[in-house]
Structure 1
Amino acid sequence: MNPVPTGQLTRTATGADLVLTRTHRAPVADVWAALTEPERTARWMGPWTGEAGPGRSVELTMTAEEGDPTATVQIEACTPPEHLHVRMVDEYGEWDLEVRLSEADGVTTVELVQHLTEPDQAVDTGPGWEYYVDRFGAALTSAAVPDFDDYHPAMVGYYEERLTSLG
């Protein structure tokens, strides 16, 4: 497999936003379920436990990572089936993430945004999120799961260029 990087990096008042967009020929309700239901998240990222809802936390076991680490995911905002904003804390740091969904003519667009306080984080996290959004797409269609080695370090140069052009 030879995935093509698509992430965009834009400057913000507090750092930068890393934005990845994918489209799926599926109703928004199905895509939302794959994003939020623990038995469905288990197919692409890992299962979670806890009582979900804005202002609450769940524990996510990241089965695509070595050692299956657990991360605490604080749900900042949730408006089904259009918007989810979480802050995730794991052994690598804190991740401020938003997912926005919209549907038109049976095609759902998913936009993943990582809010970065240090824009240079995109060099390593960009390839990782490319991998996860492609795993998500594979889970939706029952396609073969991508191999992380096709993403990192192969996409690092792309994200270094995005960082350079950010200024």
Structure 2
Amino acid sequence: MSPTPTGRLVAATTGTDLTLTRELRAGIDDMWASLTESDRTARWFASWTGDGRPGQTVRITLTAEEGQPESDLTIIACEPPHRLEVETVDEYGRWHLEATLAESATGTTLTFTHHLDASAVVAEVGPGWEYYLDRLVLSVDGGDEPAWDDYFPAQKAYYEGLSAE
């Protein structure tokens, strides 16, 4: 498999955003569950425990990473079934993330945005989100598990060449 990178950099009032889009065959409610229910998020990214309401912090456990690292994640906004905004801080920096869902003719369009910190290296961050979002698609639509090496370092040059629109 040679996945095609889809990320783009967008100038924002607070800096630069990395935006990626995926089209999924699943309906919007099914996709919302894949973004917000712990047993579903564990299939592609992380399981979580805690009170998953805006203003609250949950504990996430990354399911695809060696050692399954844990961190706290704060829910900034949760507007079912269209928008989820969260933030976490770990040893790699601040991760301010937003997912929006919109119904499409064939299912659901997911727009995923990482509001980048000035210290973020998009050539390292972008391939990781491509990998995780493809895992999300596969968790819903089925298919073979993607190989990390198909994303990093394979997509690093693509991301090094991006500039904000």
Q: TM-score range by the shorter chain?
A: over 0.9
5 Å matches for 1:15-164? 15-118=15-118, 121-162=121-162
SS in 2 for 1:19: strand
Q: Does 1:2 align with 2:2?
A: yes
> Which runs of at least 4 in structure 1 moved beyond 2 Å after TM superposition?
none
2:150 alignment partner AA = D
Q: Residues 130-154 of structure 1, C-alpha deviation per residue, up to 9 Å, x if partnerless?
A: 0000000010023111111110011
Shift of 1:55: 0.2
Partners in 2 of 1:153 and 1:104 — Cα distance? 32
Partners in 2 of 1:154 and 1:9 — Cα distance? 19
RMSD (Å), alpha carbons? 1.4
SS in 2 for 1:5: coil
Shift of 1:104: 2.4
Partners in 2 of 1:119 and 1:104 — Cα distance? 35
Task: Structure 1: state its 5+ residue gaps.
Answer: none
Contact between 2:27 and 2:108, CA under 8 Å: does it hold in 1? yes
Partners in 1 of 2:29 and 2:140 — Cα distance? 12
Q: Residues 9-57 of structure 1, C-alpha deviation per residue, up to 9 Å, x if partnerless?
A: 0122322000000000111000000111001111111211111100001
Return closer, same or farther for 1:32/1:118 CA change in 2, 3 Å cut-off: same
Residues paired across the two proteins, number:
165
Partners in 2 of 1:46 and 1:116 — Cα distance? 20
Contact between 1:10 and 1:17, CA under 8 Å: does it hold in 2? yes
Residue equivalent to 1:11 = 11
Contact between 1:70 and 1:90, CA under 8 Å: does it hold in 2? no
Residue equivalent to 1:166 = 164
Return closer, same or farther for 1:18/1:119 CA change in 2, 3 Å cut-off: farther
1:148 alignment partner AA = W
Return closer, same or farther for 1:16/1:143 CA change in 2, 3 Å cut-off: same
Q: Sequence identity of aligned pairs in percent?
A: 48
SS in 1 for 2:136: helix
**Bigger shift: residues 42-51 or 117-126:** 117-126
